[in-house]
């Protein structure tokens, strides 16, 4: 059975919900999908400041912590990050940087790749966040499986390079059923690619 590591950073829970939707959809496609959260030393601080950050706080911190070695054991890697100022979070950037030792030997080369983000607004830079993760994957030699335009019949607002959720200015808008259908559609594309 092929293994997929879904590695995400989540503060208000939206990226956690998307990661969980990916896991459920991939398991239905007979993929050994595993969730890992990126450690965030300030998560408890955010949970004290924002009520929405408490909704999934316990579930997130109960998951195994991601490390770059998890990627070596995977056939497919899915990264998820909130969008901060049109880029990945500092925690996601640090995680990506932590795998730099695999660059020279191409240890991640040939592994399949996908990504997702949650951002406040449609024009809030989410596409740039996806591109940041995509550029990382390409430099590491991973094979990006694009969502493509074929998902337009489910959700016409999805970019071609990955899944993007719009959470509103206070991150209180949770992923919709339509977004979950888009994730399930994407998971099928990914499973088909990794199982070829």
The yes/no answer on whether domain 3-194 falls in CATH 3.40.50.360 is: yes
Residue 44 binned pLDDT confidence (cut-offs 50, 70, 90): confident
What pLDDT is recorded for position 122?
77
Each residue's pLDDT tens digit, 102-160: 999 999 999 999 999 999 987 779 999 999 999 999 999 999 999 988 898 999 989 99
What pLDDT is recorded for position 103?
95
Domain ranges, ordered by start, for the chain: 3-194
What pLDDT is recorded for position 49?
81
Residue 45 binned pLDDT confidence (cut-offs 50, 70, 90): confident
What pLDDT is recorded for position 118?
97
Q: Calculate mean pLDDT across residues 54-75.
A: 95
**Rounded Cα–Cα distance for residues 105 and 109 (Å):** 9
More confident of the two residues 63 and 169: 63
Mean pLDDT of the chain: 95
Q: Helix (H, G, I), strand (E, B), or coil: what is residue 5? A: strand
Burial of 95 (0-12, 13-18, 19+ CB in 10 A): buried
Q: Which of 116, 111, 106 is nearest to 155 (CA)?
A: 116
**Rounded Cα–Cα distance for residues 175 and 65 (Å):** 23
């Amino acid at each position: 059975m092929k293994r997929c590591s879904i590695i995400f950073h989540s503060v208000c829970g939206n990226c956690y919900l998307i990661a969980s939707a990916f896991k459920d959809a991939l398991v239905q496609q007979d993929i050994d999908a595993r969730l890992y959260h990126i450690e965030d030393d300030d998560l408890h601080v955010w949970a004290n400041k924002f009520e929405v950050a408490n909704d999934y706080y316990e579930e997130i911190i109960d998951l195994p912590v991601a490390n770059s070695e998890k990627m070596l054991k995977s056939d497919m890697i899915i990264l998820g990050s909130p969008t901060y100022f049109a880029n990945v979070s500092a925690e996601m950037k640090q995680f990506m940087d932590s795998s730099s030792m695999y660059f020279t030997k191409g240890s991640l080369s040939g592994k399949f790749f996908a990504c997702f983000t949650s951002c406040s607004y449609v024009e809030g830079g989410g596409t740039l966040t996806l591109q940041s993760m995509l550029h990382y994957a390409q430099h590491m030699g991973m094979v990006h499986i694009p969502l493509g335009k074929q998902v337009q019949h489910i959700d016409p607002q999805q970019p071609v390079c990955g899944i993007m959720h719009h959470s509103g200015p206070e991150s209180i808008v949770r992923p919709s059923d339509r977004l979950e259908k888009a994730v399930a559609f994407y998971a099928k594309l990914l499973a088909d690619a990794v199982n070829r």
